[in-house]
A and B are shown apart, each in its own frame.
Chain A
């Protein structure tokens, strides 16, 4: 080894410079490595569309609009099977799953209270999932390059869906209230508001939507599915919007909205696709539907062909109105059929031998709202505003055209309660398995009239007034106060 003592001063200074220069060069090289490759860390997910990436795609608006409709359809089957069980229209008699009965008709064992961590908590996550997408859709529209007119059309569409989803929430939670606000930051918990506020929000949202649609030009910037045939331009879609507003206003009227709400319902009905003269089968059926098809599309969850666990409550047979010739109501004959007798497992329910023929095939569409309901809604609203004769005219029209029954013996002099009873019978049979019975009975304070199959013992049935919030909603609100705490589970 040589020693550095022998090196000349010049060499030494060069040597001492060299390492620092070298290190400097390397540091520089490293920095350039960073500078030129920063962008290489930006990888786009090739497997799943990102919100940031896909929203800018020309197809995005169409896909998102279809997404709102697809999500809305997703939760509809569950809405009908849960409310039909609460309203004693239907059973789900799954052979090895007693909870499909007990969770709805008995609740927590011995408590006659629905379990927040059990099965009967639907109609919450589904609607809110879609409300999140409505929120995203509105933002996408706002940021899009659509014309002002197209934007109004798209917003009108989104607000209509928003109203529909919130109506599902409040129709099942009623006095618990609900959340109407979607925050950009999903972990930022939104406050609960009262039932009254929810209805007001729904009605104003639907009204805003109607206004937007009115300024929305001749066509939507996306296509609606075949269930909207006849309602697929902003102008015709408004009739659907008004129909939903009429249902919302009628619900509000019996939930504190009073006469003013009934008036709103009447106004909305006038702008809807209501056709009191349309009393043929096709006329009554006219409306908006959810289409179904074989995979990869979804099949009708209530289809007679596939849902063999779906049974009808025997009281539908017992209570059926009879025609003049003593035979049963046409609606009963068309919609109810016999099935091999079945009961809930473990003695949780009583046997039934009736099933529904409402949706015969897996591709039978499911109504969202149709003329027959609008006629009955108008009857309700007329009754609510004191026009008993007008109400009875419409009720009788349905009795005759839909049920094949003789006109009612009630007159304008009959007590309101009797007319309401008659109206509820017509709604029951006209709108069988369409998600109305339980809500209507609650609206008129008649839940106690619904039959309880088992009245004693640990399996005693009860009629739920509202669906509980899912456990997860309460856990996330634990420790919060005021509106953020919500009504609890």
Chain B
């Protein structure tokens, strides 16, 4: 490798010849404005057609460009607007553009390979691109939040309401049972880590494991990315599109491009946001009128004494949730960016600081970062781009979700009647002890816990990329581009846990005090070489043929070190010297190599586009490390312009077939010993019960996608319709071995999952009159997911609580999204583990609407999920504790048709006793909702206003809100949440999460 790079560097230096012909030039200046409103458009690329000369408009839409003195054609383009060309005569010095909104998203390019793109209008697969403006309409915790509802076919959900992030993106259904389920994220060509690794909250909550578990409100690392730096995001959904990423692409690829500088003087942009947040929905709390009412629910003599002291005989009911989750402290965000360029250098730099206050006391998140992107032209043939991103991300997310220690607030509130003041402090200055739910060491006062327990996560992240481009050849017919891309993504995550000795729950495990340190470090690098040869015969038969070849080498390494100590000296916050110490020290590594060939044909006056290619991969994760696995792809499209009638602008039919892979997990290939333990002082080795497989290979997805893109009425109405059928074979599975073999299970490839789905996007301009314009986009998505066959006995999806609580279960020829659980469906009401409901929504539909009037724009995004059941264990806890808000409501004859009769029981009693009798259905609740995710109002102030600020050139005001409203019959906080974080299946376990919040922002944006 090293020698090769030296060779390349030498070649590059030789190739850079000082060919700077100082021909006659002149300056052209002008302004780009938006059709209708007449508002200036910043960041529009203005270039000379056929030449490598270009610039970008400033905050006021102005540009200045040095061009040859002969006649030139200028092109102005920006994602989100239709491109426009203007012919400028030899003597003219001004050119103005008026760009129309590209409502139908016909403009732009789409990624077709590691180094190739094609115009979107001829794309042969369904394309999903989200521009910076669309992405950042309303601030979100993490990029997933910004993307939610904007990509047809992607289901994006928050895992909890805790500040700072934690969300899942699932594209076109689950494609794996045990393998990776998240899309691959690529930022400026560099594959970044989206790992979610616990910071160790389980050491305190004891939710799962000794030192950390997936139930710890884990933040996936996409949260470290500043969405404001993003120029656009393209989501590669089908295998034909994602095949360029080979054996890591079955879950789709999210290609993120950050902002670049543009020639001209430095333009500064400063945005200051202030905001606040509030709990979106409270669970409410059962109201107790008198001592008699509350006594059955006090949970023991300590609770009874407390109830008697506080209910004399009438009880005061407290709103504990409002007290704990009612924090409205301001949130802040400051963004500063500078962009410009001179001579052959262009740059973009940004600094950001985002401070989010959590609605829960003592919680919040703060992301501080900076990015520099530099583009350098060296001579006429060589270009170099580099980017550096440095981020610090800090989280105080408190405790939430499942726990077995009495410390998760939403969990504990369910078991404790809210008839005492938990904020009161005793004579010792400490919070009152929680007297209910036993009143002993198995419960706690959440206010004390949240104030005293430290559960912090700090991430330092650095990412960088370098791209060298060399134009080896340009003639009228041929161009050959060589490029090298290298990049890295590194982070260090530090989780600190501390629970002081004196807390009520601390004696429960036999040790006073818990301290933990959790360090995760990750380094990923990738390098790639590409060569692209474009032949442009420019005949009516062949417009262009692009051939590209290349290869890449990628490395990922992660190490996790944790230490947890129990039994601490008072105030000591470290594990050293603790009475009981547990550690984890794990390292994982992957290395992958790939080669690809890609052929792209544009034929018949750009009406017919054909693509074919393959990528060959080998990986350290495969059983055979030398074998290349080949992932082919074919796609094509044909455009009919103005068929039948002029009202139809264009009809494009497209079809694609491709293969992508999902490589085995770490160590699936390894035949391992296990630590046999010690006998009489001697250590030992024994066979591991789980047998690796030296023939393990990637899971393979075959996907057929076809659809039509059409536009009508002079681009007033656009329709994209796509159907897909994906079959995933060679699944990673655990195959049970006969016990007489002496081993337990073996990892194998086998079986098949499939997903059938439909996506549709309807874009329209319902009204356009004068400067008023209403544009609308409706995204529709539905799919059906199946287990087709399994070479292993049926089994429950990993990450669940078992049949008493409902979970996905894999049975051949069944929908994989069905929830199985206990219900009295057997003969004579015998409880059976059987199919109950479907966790997959019937459809999800999103409504995006933008209204522009003069200097105002107003947008909203509403998400509608129809159906999809959720295992509402929060409700279950609250019913068991007798504290549900509707506990006393009259019960129907039975909770469900045919379920156990309620008799004289109240609603809460009947739900719980039905569940307790082996029927989980009362807590399987429909997750239908309509959520108003984004609302924003923008006002572009007149220049005269801006001019009052020294040096300012533009001024904009914005008021926006996220998650403003949720309409649902669902009982708990939010049907999107999942106790287990990001999971391929079982994404429907609601268990005492951090509540969801409504967020408001006021922004001022000044350009200098």
Residues on A facing B (Cβ under 8 Å): 1-4, 7, 15, 18-19, 22-23, 26-27, 29-30, 32-34, 36-38, 40-43, 45-52, 54, 60, 62-64, 66-67, 69-71, 73, 124-125, 128-133, 135-136, 178-179, 182-183, 186-187, 189-190, 223, 225-227, 291, 293, 296-298, 470, 472-473, 475-477
Contact (A190, B480) CB under 8 Å given A34-B551, A63-B685: no
Q: B473 and A69: CB pair below 8 A?
A: no
Task: Bits for B732-772, please: 1 = Cβ < 8 Å to A, else 0.
Answer: 00011111111110100000000000000000000000000
**Option from A60, A64, A293 in Cβ contact (under 8 Å) with B680:** A293
Q: A129 and B742: CB pair below 8 A?
A: yes
Q: Which of B140-148, B570-578, B670-678 contacts A (4 or more CB under 8 A)?
A: B670-678
**Option from A27, A33, A67, A223 in Cβ contact (under 8 Å) with B676:** A67
Nearest Cβ on chain B to A440's Cβ, whole angstroms: 26
B553, B683, B738, most chain A CB atoms within 10 A: B738
Q: Does B472 contact A (CB under 8 A)?
A: yes
Contact (A2, B476) CB under 8 Å given A43-B591, A129-B686: yes
A60, A125, A182, A226, most chain B CB atoms within 10 A: A125
**Option from A45, A52, A66, A472 in Cβ contact (under 8 Å) with B682:** A66
Contact (A297, B480) CB under 8 Å given A23-B549, A27-B549, A33-B4: no
- Alpha-carbon distance between A43 and B620 when the two chains are bound, in angstroms: 7
**Option from B588, B591, B620, B682 in Cβ contact (under 8 Å) with A62:** B682
Q: B684 and A66: CB pair below 8 A?
A: yes
Nearest to A180 among chain B residues (CB) is B740
Considering only residues 562-620 of chain B, those with a C-beta below 8 Å from chain A are 585-591, 593, 595, 618-620
Task: Bits for B655-690, please: 1 = Cβ < 8 Å to A, else 0.
Answer: 000000000000100111111111111111111110
Kindly list chain A residues whose C-beta atoms are within 8 Å of the C-beta of B689.
129
Contact (A32, B4) CB under 8 Å given A124-B740, A187-B746: yes
**Option from A33, A124, A132, A472 in Cβ contact (under 8 Å) with B1:** A33
Q: Does B66 contact A (CB under 8 A)?
A: no
Q: A128 and B740: CB pair below 8 A?
A: yes
A3, A26, A73, most chain B CB atoms within 10 A: A26
- Alpha-carbon distance between A341 and B743 when the two chains are bound, in angstroms: 41
- Alpha-carbon distance between A60 and B619 when the two chains are bound, in angstroms: 29
Contact (A132, B743) CB under 8 Å given A50-B670, A66-B676: yes
Kindly list chain B residues whose C-beta atoms are within 8 Å of the C-beta of A187.
735, 737, 741, 746
Nearest Cβ on chain B to A329's Cβ, whole angstroms: 33
Between A and B, 26 residue pairs with Cβ closer than 8 Å are: A2-B476, A18-B473, A22-B472, A26-B482, A26-B531, A26-B549, A30-B549, A33-B529, A34-B551, A48-B670, A48-B688, A49-B672, A51-B672, A66-B683, A67-B676, A69-B684, A124-B739, A124-B740, A128-B740, A130-B742, A132-B687, A190-B738, A226-B680, A296-B677, A297-B677, A477-B738
Q: B680 and A291: CB pair below 8 A?
A: yes
Kindly list chain A residues whose C-beta atoms are within 8 Å of the C-beta of B587.
46-47
Kindly list chain A residues whose C-beta atoms are within 8 Å of the C-beta of B685.
49, 54, 60, 63-64, 66-67
Q: B686 and A71: CB pair below 8 A?
A: yes
Rank and list the top 5 A-B pairs by shortest CB-CB distance, nearest first. Answer: A132-B742, A225-B680, A67-B684, A476-B738, A66-B684
Kindly list chain A residues whose C-beta atoms are within 8 Å of the C-beta of B585.
47
**Option from A45, A62, A133 in Cβ contact (under 8 Å) with B687:** A133
Nearest to A298 among chain B residues (CB) is B677
**Option from A22, A70, A472 in Cβ contact (under 8 Å) with B684:** A70
Q: A26 and B680: CB pair below 8 A?
A: no
Q: Does B691 contact A (CB under 8 A)?
A: yes
* A-B contacts besides A23-B547, A60-B685, 20 pairs, CB < 8 Å: A22-B473, A27-B549, A29-B8, A42-B625, A48-B672, A50-B671, A51-B672, A52-B671, A63-B676, A63-B684, A66-B685, A129-B686, A130-B742, A131-B742, A179-B740, A190-B740, A225-B681, A296-B678, A298-B677, A473-B738
Nearest Cβ on chain A to B547's Cβ, whole angstroms: 8
**Option from A33, A36, A41 in Cβ contact (under 8 Å) with B618:** A41
Q: B682 and A4: CB pair below 8 A?
A: no
Q: Does B119 contact A (CB under 8 A)?
A: no
- Alpha-carbon distance between A132 and B685 when the two chains are bound, in angstroms: 12
Kindly list chain A residues whose C-beta atoms are within 8 Å of the C-beta of B18.
none
Kindly list chain B residues whose C-beta atoms are within 8 Å of the C-beta of A225.
679-682
- Alpha-carbon distance between A45 and B621 when the two chains are bound, in angstroms: 11
Contact (A186, B691) CB under 8 Å given A15-B473, A50-B670: yes
Q: Does B100 contact A (CB under 8 A)?
A: no
- Alpha-carbon distance between A40 and B3 when the two chains are bound, in angstroms: 16
- Alpha-carbon distance between A131 and B738 when the two chains are bound, in angstroms: 13
Contact (A182, B741) CB under 8 Å given A43-B589, A49-B672, A70-B677: yes
Kindly list chain A residues whose C-beta atoms are within 8 Å of the C-beta of B741.
128, 132, 182-183, 186-187, 189-190
Kindly list chain B residues whose C-beta atoms are within 8 Å of the C-beta of A3.
476
- Alpha-carbon distance between A207 and B8 when the two chains are bound, in angstroms: 70
Nearest to B555 among chain A residues (CB) is A40
- Alpha-carbon distance between A189 and B591 when the two chains are bound, in angstroms: 35
- Alpha-carbon distance between A3 and B478 when the two chains are bound, in angstroms: 11
- Alpha-carbon distance between A54 and B688 when the two chains are bound, in angstroms: 13
Considering only residues 23-54 of chain B, those with a C-beta below 8 Å from chain A are 50
Kindly list chain A residues whose C-beta atoms are within 8 Å of the C-beta of B676.
63, 66-67, 70-71
Contact (A476, B737) CB under 8 Å given A19-B533, A48-B688, A60-B685: yes
Q: B673 and A54: CB pair below 8 A?
A: yes
Q: Does B550 contact A (CB under 8 A)?
A: yes
Q: B673 and A50: CB pair below 8 A?
A: yes
Nearest Cβ on chain A to B792's Cβ, whole angstroms: 10
**Option from A38, A62, A63, A133 in Cβ contact (under 8 Å) with B626:** A38
Kindly list chain B residues whose C-beta atoms are within 8 Å of the C-beta of A293.
680-681
Considering only residues 546-560 of chain B, those with a C-beta below 8 Å from chain A are 547, 549-551, 553
Nearest Cβ on chain A to B453's Cβ, whole angstroms: 29
- Alpha-carbon distance between A54 and B586 when the two chains are bound, in angstroms: 18
Q: Does B793 contact A (CB under 8 A)?
A: yes
Nearest to A135 among chain B residues (CB) is B742
Nearest to A46 among chain B residues (CB) is B587
Nearest to A124 among chain B residues (CB) is B739
- Alpha-carbon distance between A48 and B618 when the two chains are bound, in angstroms: 23
Kindly list chain B residues whose C-beta atoms are within 8 Å of the C-beta of A128.
739-742
Kindly list chain B residues whose C-beta atoms are within 8 Å of the C-beta of A33.
1, 4, 529, 551, 553, 593
Q: Does B475 contact A (CB under 8 A)?
A: yes
Nearest Cβ on chain B to A363's Cβ, whole angstroms: 10
Q: A45 and B625: CB pair below 8 A?
A: no
Kindly list chain A residues whose C-beta atoms are within 8 Å of the C-beta of B533.
19, 22-23
- Alpha-carbon distance between A300 and B134 when the two chains are bound, in angstroms: 67
- Alpha-carbon distance between A227 and B480 when the two chains are bound, in angstroms: 76
Nearest Cβ on chain A to B853's Cβ, whole angstroms: 43
Nearest to B2 among chain A residues (CB) is A36
**Option from B476, B480, B595, B740 in Cβ contact (under 8 Å) with A30:** B595
- Alpha-carbon distance between A32 and B618 when the two chains are bound, in angstroms: 15
- Alpha-carbon distance between A49 and B591 when the two chains are bound, in angstroms: 20
Q: B672 and A29: CB pair below 8 A?
A: no
Q: Does B6 contact A (CB under 8 A)?
A: no
Q: Does B477 contact A (CB under 8 A)?
A: yes
- Alpha-carbon distance between A470 and B456 when the two chains are bound, in angstroms: 46
Q: A22 and B531: CB pair below 8 A?
A: yes
- Alpha-carbon distance between A73 and B738 when the two chains are bound, in angstroms: 22
Q: B687 and A37: CB pair below 8 A?
A: no
- Alpha-carbon distance between A236 and B737 when the two chains are bound, in angstroms: 38
- Alpha-carbon distance between A476 and B742 when the two chains are bound, in angstroms: 13
A33, A50, A52, A297, most chain B CB atoms within 10 A: A33
- Alpha-carbon distance between A48 and B689 when the two chains are bound, in angstroms: 13
- Alpha-carbon distance between A124 and B533 when the two chains are bound, in angstroms: 65
- Alpha-carbon distance between A293 and B681 when the two chains are bound, in angstroms: 9
Nearest Cβ on chain A to B116's Cβ, whole angstroms: 14
Considering only residues 703-730 of chain B, those with a C-beta below 8 Å from chain A are none
Kindly list chain A residues whose C-beta atoms are within 8 Å of the C-beta of B739.
124-125, 128, 470, 472-473
Q: B674 and A48: CB pair below 8 A?
A: yes
Kindly list chain A residues whose C-beta atoms are within 8 Å of the C-beta of B680.
225-227, 291, 293, 297
